[in-house]
Amino acid sequence: MTAAGSWAAPGRVNLIGEHTDYNDGLVLPLALPQTTRVTAARRGDGELRLSSSVPVGGWTVYPEGVLWALRQAGHRVGGAELHFDSTVPVGAGLSSSAALEVATAAALNDLYELELPRPALARLCQRAENSYVGVPCGIMDQMAAACCVAGHVLRLDTRDLSQRQVPFDLAAEGLRLLVVDTRVQHALGDGAYAKRRAACEAGARVLGVRALREVAYDDLDIALRRIDEKVMRRLVRHVVTENHRVEEVISLLDTGRPRAIGPLLTAGHASLRDDFAVSCPELDLAVETANETGALGARMTGGGFGGSAIVLAGEATADRVSDAVTTAFSKAGHRAPRIFPAAPSDGVRRIS
């Protein structure tokens, strides 16, 4: 095709704040260097033609959904020819779907001179995934792909979409953030994710609040005594305590103490494992091994049921931690994990 330009949108890891975004809570993601790239040109016949160098089935529904969402919102968007390639691992909990959506939205936004701001593009991409793809995700992944800034984590309040870039200069502190892709494929459209979201919404109704974000951490014990159903109680406890952990991590980063966030990451993993029940043996093994080998903290990241963990480690111990996790997986009979550093990077941008 005759290209009008190319755009790139990143995958993401979430430093802390898991399963809080659809509860109007706080999240703290960062963009990865790995991106999904789209080369795009307008078509005069109104058709959408898609191709990809990545042989992954079922991916076309995401760009289709973005075009649908733009048109549903009343934007005058004609046809397009889009070719994709990507370095974001698929099924690793690193939001490859949001990267695909946001890259598409940015390309169509520029091709048709819509002049929509990045948060508006993120909202349209979320609508595409919710209503067209059928995954009831929150807004975090799309906002991370659209709005992150290199060298920072994005403090996002999903209740009002207010955001702040929080400095997160790992190298200056002698730190490394590792991603451990367990290679356990996860799929959020299989119902488990939707059931947890529905249970959280039911918990909010029981407590008489619009969303669990409104339950104060100091009032958690009182709130839990009002919930009879055990599973719902555990889910509510995770969301409220996770929001509190996000606030604690932000406070530590704002006061120049990034090394001190490690125990909060590990506590977040325990909550996701025990209360929200979205971990798996491979994720637990990665976290436990990393912490036993000298990491400052570790946790699963993303929706769960597989995917990736993140590990915060000092430069002097990061390689040892990586080797220990790989060895532990081999001894347990698991597939070898893919481990790489996560450098906080920029959100979506035009690259040519």
User: Tens of pLDDT along 293-326?
Assistant: 999 999 999 988 899 999 999 999 999 999 999 9
pLDDT at 1: 60
pLDDT at 91: 81
Q: Are 210 and 24 in contact (CB under 8 A)?
A: yes
pLDDT at 104: 98
In which order are the strands placed within the sheet that holds 349-350? 48-52, 79-86, 29-43, 5-14, 349-350
Of 350, 351, 352, 343, which Cα lies nearest the Cα of 11?
343
Burial class for 113, CB neighbours closer than 10 Å (0-12, 13-18, 19+)? exposed
Q: Is pLDDT above 60 for 187?
A: no
191: confidence class by pLDDT, cuts 50, 70, 90: confident
Neighbours of 118 (CB within 10 A): 20
Q: Is pLDDT above 70 for 29?
A: yes
Token pair 């994720």 is at which residue? 283
92: confidence class by pLDDT, cuts 50, 70, 90: confident
* Rounded distance between C-alpha atoms, residue 152 and residue 321, angstroms: 24
pLDDT at 58: 85
The rounded percent of the chain whose pLDDT value lies above 70 is 97
- Range ranked top by mean pLDDT from 49-63, 189-203, 228-242: 228-242
Q: Which residue has the higher pLDDT, 92 or 66?
A: 66
189: confidence class by pLDDT, cuts 50, 70, 90: very low
Torsional class of 239: left (φ above 0), alpha (ψ -120 to 50), beta (otherwise): alpha
List active site positions.
141
Q: Is pLDDT above 70 for 186?
A: no
Sign of CA dihedral 253, 255, 259, 262: negative
Q: Are 205 and 232 in contact (CB under 8 A)?
A: no
